[in-house]
Amino acid sequence: MSTHRTITVALAGNPNAGKSSLFNALTGAHQRVGNFPGVTIEKHEGFLDYKNYRITVVDLPGTYSLTPYSPEEIVTRRFIIDEKPDVVVNVVEGTNLERNLMLTVQLMEMEVDLLVALNMMDEVEEKGIAIDLDQLEQLFGSHIVPISARNRKGLDDLLDHVISVSEGCIEIRKNKITFSAEVEKAIDKISALLSRERELDAAANNRWLAIKLLENDREVYTQVQKYPVWVKVELALQEAIKECARLHSTDPEALITEDRHAFVHGAMQECVRKPKATRASVSDYIDMVVLNRVLGLPVFFLVVWAIFQLTFTLGSPLMDALDYAFGLLSETVAPHLPAGMVRSIFVDGVISGVGSVVVFLPNIVLLFMGLSFLEASGYMARAAFVIDKVMHRFGLHGKSFIPMITGFGCSIPAIMATRTLKSRSDRLATIMTIPFMSCGAKLPVYVLLAGAFFPPAMAANVMFGIYLLGIAVGLWTAWLLKSTVLKSDSEPFVMELPPYRWPTFTSVVFQARMKAVMYLKKAGTLILGAVILIWVASNFPRSAALEAELARETARIETLTVAPELKAERLQKLEARIEAGQLEYSLAGRSGKLLEPLIRPLGFDWKIGIALVTGLAAKEVVVSTLGTIYSIGQVADETSLSEILRSDSTFSQATALSLMVFVLLYIPCVAAVGVMKKEVGAWKPVLFYSAYVLTVAWIASFITYRLALMWM
């Protein structure tokens, strides 16, 4: 029986303070990833056993403050208040102390059991920065432990302090900042009023609540308004606002912020000594290039291009290998299963469904390794700064560009990559833009149709035009959303340029591994279910008449005295024709017939309607569905299919263009829709968006078809 005593530690800190590095160094492989309750922000939790203690570590989202303006700030604050961890470890970047200590001050105000982990002390020493730790501890009332998470230095000392704080062996004095006289007077008055509510007094720190009310904190307002004392509290707040306006021509919130800055600035002056800068550093020389007004944008495109080249160059052979492995698995498993529905659902449904997800995994891992490298190195912040001006013309944030570029590979990691955006409106606008990018799954459709109906030289131009059309519609959609329903709550772009660092291999691999696991858990289960659903819809109900015809004709062909090869060919054609008939008879086929009146103005018939429905599972399925319908077997041969489509009276250059435009713009695959719902947090906006993209796709295809009929 374990005798471990448990301690819960929450890691809080600014982005790029080394919080995740510390989390990885402490917990190693004992980690799990989930979401914080009610939101889509990742929750990283792990544990370690140290000196007969089991220490659970929760890595809170990186945040600059504890005001409830971003999801990260709200999650961090709620966790500290509601979960009440035994110790809060504030990870502070030693080389950027003044900015980091602003969060420390706000943690002090919460009067939690606080430890400060002064990280990157190796860089502090390299830069010749002298920090008076004893004096700093006196000012902040908390023990400060110097560490280097990247080099695993000082971790035992930090853990010893965690145990000592948890056991009460170290006194956290919980120093209070003294604000301006008018603010302190208002805090005292409001705190006294709040203490009259027993339930409120027992649940929260009244001084902190009073400060937050003076800061116009929406969450605390909602919390206090539930109690009768709110009437008197509101009067006290109005008095404080009037008094601050009369004496200082400003409001209490501004005074509180000024006082915090003054406290931190004073602590810096008293405790930190920096060497005088004598010459430009290597970082300064790099910034002269990457932040240059002329060179910055080309360098950014070059870096992104290199990441994609690396991703798809290295990933393609791995994808092919996985594709081959799943094909081999199907061939191995199929003979051991009874022929018919059981074999079909396992081979065509389960194995193919899982395979269609897993084959994308190498590219996803490589892409996220590249993005993690850029993020950890400090370049991503500079890239966002460079691209911000262009993206702002369409209402998007500079960081939106990275998910949009990622969308050319696959919408799922691209949507997940929007988590780097703090503002919900920026994140939503970017998510709604990504499905218009031409993901890799749409490429087989373009290749099939452009190759079948246009000469080679023109086919490349057609495909290039389709890609440009997707970008244009995506940016227009972003502008439309940010001008209307997502107009408010936009994140101001604050340039935070962390120093350049060489990321550790472990941290880059860790981030990629986490993303890969989430991809498999979320998209894998969704697409597997969808593929099985579509398999059922494409196979049921079955026509008894067609089954009888198949049996009758098979028996007749078997009796023919012809060469075995010719007999096999006739049987194959018969099965393909019967299968096409069953598809038309199935639920999916009937759906195509039902859709035909709606899509006929676009130049499509019911067969294309079926392909568009099944294409919701994955856009590549459009090609294989067309192949099945045109009786060339379950696996589409694109060359043969091209010839058949050219000879079909339904298809023309106008139809091909219209279909490419529709596939580009209509609803993304079900896996992307599922991940979109996960990121957005509700079905209503996703359903609204689906209706929007369907409308846009229909209108764009209609215009394309009609113009093409006139000119071709």
| Res. 632: pLDDT tops 90 | no
**Which pLDDT belongs to residue 42?**
64
Q: Is 24 annotated as a binding residue?
A: yes
| Res. 156: pLDDT tops 90 | yes
The CATH number of 181-273 is 1.10.287.1770
**Which pLDDT belongs to residue 246?**
80
Q: Is 370 annotated as a binding residue?
A: no
**Which pLDDT belongs to residue 548?**
92
**Which pLDDT belongs to residue 190?**
92
Q: Is 437 annotated as a binding residue?
A: no
pLDDT digits (tens, 9 = 90+) for 123-138: 888 888 899 888 888 8
pLDDT digits (tens, 9 = 90+) for 639-673: 456 777 888 888 899 999 999 999 999 988 887 88
Q: CA 141 to CA 172: how far, in whole Å?
A: 6
Q: What is the mean pLDDT of the chain?
A: 81
Query: Residue 35 — pLDDT band, cuts 50, 70, 90?
Result: low
Q: What is the token pair recorded at 68?
A: 């409830």
- Tally Cβ neighbours within 10 Å of residue 181: 10
**Which pLDDT belongs to residue 528?**
67
| Res. 610: pLDDT tops 50 | yes
Q: Is 119 annotated as a binding residue?
A: yes
Mean pLDDT of 243-258: 83
**Which pLDDT belongs to residue 159?**
93
Is there a contact between 158 and 147 (Cβ–Cβ < 8 Å)?
yes
Mean pLDDT of 271-275: 83
| Res. 310: pLDDT tops 90 | no
Q: Do domains 5-167 and 181-273 have the same CATH topology?
A: no
Q: What is the token pair recorded at 579?
A: 């299968």
Mean pLDDT of 18-25: 85
| Res. 635: pLDDT tops 80 | no
**pLDDT higher at 267 or 602:** 602
Q: What is the pTM of this model?
A: 0.56
**Which pLDDT belongs to residue 29?**
61
Q: Is 281 annotated as a binding residue?
A: no
Q: Is 59 annotated as a binding residue?
A: yes
Long-range pairs for 623-626 at CB < 8 Å and ≥24 separation? 623/444, 623/445, 623/448, 626/448
Given the structure tokens 């074999």, which residue do they identify? 343
Residues composing the chain: 712
Quote the DSSP letter at residue 434: G
Show me where the domains of the chain are located. Answer: 5-167, 181-273, 285-485+502-525+651-711
Q: Is 440 annotated as a binding residue?
A: no
| Res. 1: pLDDT tops 50 | no
Quote the DSSP letter at residue 197: S
pLDDT digits (tens, 9 = 90+) for 324-346: 887 788 788 878 887 777 777 77
| Res. 353: pLDDT tops 80 | no
Q: Is 201 annotated as a binding residue?
A: no
**Which pLDDT belongs to residue 639?**
46
Which amino acid type is present at position 665?
Answer: L
Q: Is 38 annotated as a binding residue?
A: yes
Q: Is 417 annotated as a binding residue?
A: no
Which amino acid type is present at position 298?
Answer: P
Q: Is 137 annotated as a binding residue?
A: no
Q: Is 14 annotated as a binding residue?
A: yes
Mean pLDDT of 3-15: 86
What are the beta bridge partners of residue 5? 53
**Which pLDDT belongs to residue 633?**
45
**pLDDT higher at 376 or 484:** 484
Q: What percent of the chain has pLDDT over 90?
A: 17
Q: Is 61 annotated as a binding residue?
A: yes
**Which pLDDT belongs to residue 708?**
92
| Arch. (CATH architecture) of 5-167 | 3-Layer(aba) Sandwich (3.40)
Sorted by sequence, the CB contacts under 8 Å of residue 618 that are 6+ apart come out as: 356, 441, 527, 531, 669, 671
Burial category of 309 from C-beta neighbours within 10 Å (exposed 0-12, middle 13-18, buried 19 and up): exposed
Q: Is 10 helix (H, G, I), strand (E, B) or coil?
A: strand
Q: Is 121 annotated as a binding residue?
A: yes
Mean pLDDT of 476-481: 90
pLDDT digits (tens, 9 = 90+) for 40-81: 456 788 889 999 899 999 988 888 888 776 667 888 888 888
Would you give the end-to-end CA distance of the chain in angstroms?
Answer: 80
Q: Is 84 annotated as a binding residue?
A: no
| Res. 574: pLDDT tops 80 | yes
Q: Is 481 annotated as a binding residue?
A: no
**Which pLDDT belongs to residue 545?**
92
Q: Is 27 annotated as a binding residue?
A: yes
| Res. 349: pLDDT tops 70 | no
Query: Residue 176 — pLDDT band, cuts 50, 70, 90?
Result: low
Q: What percent of the chain has pLDDT over 70?
A: 85
| Res. 624: pLDDT tops 70 | no
